[in-house]
Structure formats: C-alpha cells, structure tokens
Amino acid sequence: MSNIRGSVAAAPEPDDRPVDEIECGSDGGDDSCCAHADGAEEDCCCGSHEERADGGHDDHAGAGGCACCGGDADDDEKMWGAPFIIGVVLFAAGFIFENFGHSIVGAFTSGAAMESLLRWGPAAVLLISYLLIGRHVLTTAFKNILRGRVFDENFLMTIASIGAFVIGEYPEAVAVMLFYEVGEYFQGRAVRHSRKSISALLDIRPDTANIQVDGEIKEIAAERVNVGDVILIRPGDKVPLDGTVVSGNSSMDTKALTGESLPTDVGEGDTVLSGSINGQGLLNVRVTKRFSESTASKIIDLVEHAGTKKAKTENFITVFARYYTPAVVAIAAALAILPPILGAGTFADWVYRGLVFLVVSCPCALVISIPISFFGGIGASSARGILVKGGNYLEALNRVDTVIFDKTGTLTAGAFRVTAVMAAEGVREDRVLRIAAGAESSSTHPIAVSIIEKFREVGGEIDLDEIGDIVEKPGFGVRARVKDDVVLVGNTRLMDEEDVSYPRIETAGTMVCVAVNGQYTGMLLVADEVKADSRKTVDGLRRRGIGRVLMFTGDNAATAAKIGAELGLDDCEAGLLPHRKVEALERVLAEKAAAEPDEKKRGKTVFVGDGINDAPVLARADVGFAMGGLGSDAAIEAADIVIMNDEPSKILTALDIAKKTKKIVWENIGFALGIKAVVLALAAVGIANMWEAVFADVGVALLATLNALRAGRVDG
C-alpha cells in the first residue's frame, strides 16, 4: 500500500464582510464563488452563472446572491418573475398589433396618425418585450465579449435576434429569445427538482475549548488556545484542536475524519485529532497545532476551495454553439458580400438575404431540444433514485475512465458484525459468544452492540441477573462478573494489562479477546461487510470500459487489501485522512494529465463517497457521487450526483442513462440540422422567410421533446 506524503497549504481566511459588499475582482477570500484563485478573474460566474460546474454559485442561495454579481442561484426562477411575464404579455400584444393593427386601430383613428401608430407601435412594444425577455442573454453576451469569449450560445441568440430587428422581423426577434429561455428553463427545472437543498456544510469543528486557568476550568474561544496548552475533553465532547493525550483513556469516534465507524482507542501519548468525538473517558490533551491549522479546519478549507480547482464541465449547448455560431456568421457574411461582387445582384438585396439567413440560422429547435434531452436524462435518473445536479455532469459521465471509491458506507455497509468466533482448546464457540455478550450487555460501544446482536441472532438470551460488577475501561474493554466468574472482554491492550496470554493473529478486522478468571477463553472477529452489489458494480464498470477502479480509505492497510482483493480493484490507498485523500486524487489527475495533455481528450475521474471526510475529494473530482441515504449532509452538498438508496450499482444506471441521453442529443441535433439545412437553402435563394423557419423549428422541437422521453427507457 502506498504511503502518500505532503501537506496541504492553508487556504485563505474567509472575508468577514457581508456578501453583498464583496465586489467582483476582489480577492476577499471568496474563491468559492468566482474561482478567482490565482487571479483568474475571467472565470467569474458573473454574467455566466452556468459555467460554475462545481455548484459554487448555489452556495449563496439565501445569502444575498452571488458575492460578485448579486445574482441569485436560481436564475430560471428569476426568469419567470414579473419582467419576463410582462415581456411575454407585451410580445402577445405586439404580435396582435402588427398582424391585426389595421382592423383594431382603424376603428378609432385614420390617416397619418394611424399610419404612424401602425408603423412604430408594434416595433416599440416588441422592442420592450425583447429587452424584458432577453435581458439575461443580452447582458451575458456583452460581458462575455468583453472577456474575449465571443462565440457562445448567448452571442448566437443576440446576433440572430438583432438581425431580425434590422430587417423588420420584430416578432421573430422576440420569438428567438423566448424559445431559448424556455429551453433553458426546462433543464433548470430538472436540476432544481434533483438538487438537494442542504445548507449545513461541516459542523465538525467546535469553536470553544475547555482549559484550566487558576485551578478552574474555563470555556474559551478555540482560537485563543496556544500550542502547549492542556485542554480538557469531556465524554461526548468534540475535540477542538489537535493534540497529544497527557492523561486518561477513551475511545474516539473518528468517523467524521476517517469515515470508519469503529472507534479508535487512545491513551497517554496517543494523538487525537480535532473533529473527533470523545467516548466515555475523560482526557487531558496537550495542544500541538493552532486552531487554524487543526485537522477539522483543514477539512473545512478543503471543501470550501477544492471546487475552484475542478475543471469546468461545460453545458453541451455551450460547446455546440462555439462551433456552430462562427460557421453561420461566416456563411451569412459571405452570402451578403460575394454574390454582389460577382455581379449576381445588388448589395442591398444580398445584405438583406444575408440577414435573413443569419436570423433563420438561429437554432431555436436545438436550443430547446438539447436542454430537453438532458431534462429527460435527469428526470429518468431521479425516477431511479439518482439525483443529478446539472446536465453538464450527465454529459461528463460519457467520458469517465477512472472511478475511485471510498470504503466504509460506500463499498461496505458501514455496520460492524461478528464474522468469526474462535474458541480456545476445550472451549465451545457458543460459550465464548455467550460470555462476551453478557459482559458487554450494558455497553453502547459499536463493537459491544455487534456482539450482542450476534448472540441474539443465534437464539441467545442474556440473563441480566447473572451479570454484575461491570466496569468499563475506555480504550481497553470491559470487566464484569458473570455468575461466579471474572470476565474480561476487550482488545489486546486489556489482555496485556491483565497479564493474559493470547494467540497473536494477523487478520483484517478488529479482534475482541475473551478471558475468564485470568485465562484466555476465545476471540471474536468484528468486521465491516461488503455490500451485496459492490462486486456487481466493479464488474459492470469493467464491462463499460472503465479502465481503472480504485479505493481510497481511512481504514488500515490489511482491511483495505482484503476488500480490494475481494472486489478485484486495481489499487487501494489506506490510512488516508481527508486532505490525504485529496492529495491522492491530485496525484491520479496529474498522472492522467501527463499521459494526455489535452484536457478535452482526457477522461473524467469519478469519486464515490458518503462521509464528511469525503466532502473535499468529492468537490475536487471531475464528478462526485454521494451516497444520500446514510451519507452526511456535507458529502451530499459537495457531490454532483446523489444516490438516494446507497446502492453503488446505481452508478452503472447513471452511466447507462448518460450514454442514452447523449445518443438522443445527437439524434435531435442531426434531425434539427437536417431540417435547418433545407430551410437555410430556401432562405438563401429568397424562397423561405423567417416565419417558415420558426414553424419548422416548432415542429422539430416537438418531435425532439418526444424523442427525449426515451432517455427513461434504461434498465436499472
């Protein structure tokens, strides 16, 4: 098992200013919003919120909007606000005014006043409608042009609609914007329904510590505690700072840090990490790291800033528009300039045709059918308990070549069971189990619970009248009287302390020794169990062409090796704290970057986890899957896709839906472009007008929508 070394640089302290006072371009420590790390101001979400693939923009929901632009997380909800609705009403009024104005206005006036009203009235109404409906697209296109990103879908919508205004096709200009906004709404609606509204991030770091001052225990701010101070950790307390145990014994719940459900026994000289929860013992701990450098603080910083290092996963329509837009603009320009130069007509005639061509080229059907296709894929995923936080992540699943799993709670059940009972010579196994269950009958320790459950599974009943004098020794085990015998049940440290000889066994899992009257009686092996469909998942990934399947775990190397061999994984990394998991992932990504420098050709890396300790690496991976049934809020918040029933095989279903969705997208693109090519050819020779193109687009969009429903026809 490889040992990953290195350290994680401390992230900048968050800006304490109110979110609406932090201006775009400032480095107020708010990299989580705009990805301004290293001064990369061009990556700001302002004006192009959808580019934040890591979902960072959504972190501001309910907090005043984006720290840069004041934008709300749910732009599609704002779109359906009063300005948009007023714009739609004005569009309907303008359309009626333009087509039936003579009949309506003629009933009230005539002459020059009527002609003037009929000439400029519809144009004025539709212009206002256009600005209200398309305001987001227009401002985004303008801002992107200033940043040097010209050829995107916003530019395409803008130039096509402005061209329609130039040639006097006012209703068509508004229709272009309306179609586009409706298409984006459908995908946004799917995302809203599949996204978990979880605001709690990482409540693992207590802000206060108990310290002895002048003979009294006082609670002070953890930031004021210095290295070398001794703090008191009471039973049930969260550890506020990293340190070394000076006195006391206990069991530490480190699940928030390592993901492992099994408590870790600690005593004098052992290291305890902030974010751990103390068990039954009272501990005095000498602080070894300041509050800002503690393990829990590092995890929080990692989650807040890991997303800024994630490569953006672009929306499909954005990628498509990057190539389609310059192509149609170039053809329209050639159509307007070349024929007159070659003597085939006047400039005025061909410039008009060029503008018509440009307007007709606006892919209304595409900008609806592509989001609708992803809407179908996201909806199909949701129906199967897979919540996808954006169509871009569904698209990214088509390029996955590496999948990395957490162990506990992801590949394994995360619940401990007695997997073996080994009795000493001359002793029956059922007696070992009965004695251990009796001694542990009053304990709530996870190992004790698993022993009692095992005893009850085989039909045993604990007679509490036979048990007494129970003394629990935190970090060691328990001493009790069972009938007339003195029983010891605990780890090897308890056996050593009581001078009990026992066999030394190397095995994956936790050994619980049992001794009666100072004599070794037997041993129980407690371990986590592999989920029923974990092997099926790994095999299914292989069949789908996934080249590497790895495991990162906070558990020990022996257990990791056993699980890895059982499931047929390519490699396992053991003993990893959260920042070490991020380092391990960074190394995998660096190896892939070295093998394929072109990011567009490089395969995507998926990480699958469930605990708070997985949140940083989930945020850093190209696509993060979180187990939502038993997973922590922090993991679900950091992930891009959430599996609600905790079955790892749902990853296979997500991959299949992503593949089916991409196929449908390309079918819709081919169909829409085929119809568009016919209409464009007719427009180039002056036969087709804008309305014929619009009606063709409506028909294509309807058929594309029906085709998108096929995304749900995937087994799983």
Residue type, 174: V
CA distance 259 to 556: 12
Mean pLDDT in residue range 209-229 = 83
pLDDT band at residue 22 under the 50/70/90 scheme: very low
Report the 10 Å Cβ neighbour count for 607. Answer: 30
Q: How buried is 121 (Cβ within 10 angstroms: 0-12 exposed, 13-18 middle, 19+ buried)?
A: middle
Residues linked to residue 546 through DSSP beta bridges, in sequence order: none
- With 80 as the cut, is the pLDDT of residue 234 above it? yes
Q: Are 157 and 363 in contact (CB under 8 A)?
A: no
Highest mean pLDDT among 144-158, 342-356, 662-676: 662-676
Q: What DSSP assignment string belongs to 428-440? A: -HHHHHHHHHHHT
Measured over the CA atoms of residue 541, residue 542, residue 546 and residue 552, the dihedral's sign is: positive
The CA-based dihedral angle spanning residues 364, 370, 371, 373, taken in that order and rounded to the nearest 10 degrees: 130
Q: Are 601 and 161 in contact (CB under 8 A)?
A: no
Q: How far is CA 80 from CA 83, 139, 250, in A?
A: 8, 17, 57
pLDDT band at residue 58 under the 50/70/90 scheme: very low
For the segment 95-117, what is each residue's pLDDT rounded down to a tens digit?
A: 777 766 566 555 555 556 556 66
Residues linked to residue 412 through DSSP beta bridges, in sequence order: 408, 530
Mean pLDDT in residue range 39-67 = 36
pLDDT of res. 549: 94
Q: Are 575 and 558 in contact (CB under 8 A)?
A: no
Q: Which residues are catalytic?
A: 406
CA distance 141 to 490: 67
pLDDT of res. 34: 37
Q: What DSSP assignment string belongs to 460-521? A: ----GGGEEEEEEETTTEEEEEETTEEEEEE-HHHHHHTT--------SSEEEEEEETTEEE
How large a percentage of the chain has pLDDT more than 90?
10
Give first-to-last CA distance, the chain, whole Å. 35
- With 70 as the cut, is the pLDDT of residue 368 above it? no
The CA-based dihedral angle spanning residues 566, 567, 572, 578, taken in that order and rounded to the nearest 10 degrees: -110
Q: Which of 510, 551, 554, 3 is nearest to 258 (CA)?
A: 554
Secondary-structure percent of the chain, ordered helix, strand, coil, rounded to 5: 50, 15, 35
CA distance 42 to 36: 8
- With 70 as the cut, is the pLDDT of residue 251 above it? yes
Provide the pairing of β-strand 641-643 with 623-627.
parallel
Q: Identify the weakest region by mean pLDDT among 418-427, 483-492, 679-688.
A: 679-688
573 φ/ψ sector (left φ>0, alpha ψ -120 to 50, else beta): beta
Q: Are 402 and 651 in contact (CB under 8 A)?
A: no
Mean pLDDT in residue range 361-375 = 70
CA distance 25 to 63: 19
Q: How far is CA 220 from CA 119, 206, 209, 537, in A?
A: 75, 11, 6, 49
Residues linked to residue 528 through DSSP beta bridges, in sequence order: 416
DSSP symbol at 424: P
Q: Are 578 and 600 in contact (CB under 8 A)?
A: no
Q: Which of 165, 169, 181, 179 is nearest to 95 (CA)?
A: 169
> Which pair of tokens denotes residue 453?
């459950």
pLDDT band at residue 79 under the 50/70/90 scheme: low
CA distance 65 to 316: 26
Which residues have CB under 8 Å from 4's CB, separation 6+? 573, 576, 580, 583, 584, 587
Q: Identify the weakest region by mean pLDDT among 102-106, 258-262, 565-569, 613-617.
A: 102-106
Phi, psi of 622 (to 5 degrees): -60, -45
CA distance 183 to 697: 13
What mean pLDDT, rounded, does the chain reach? Answer: 74
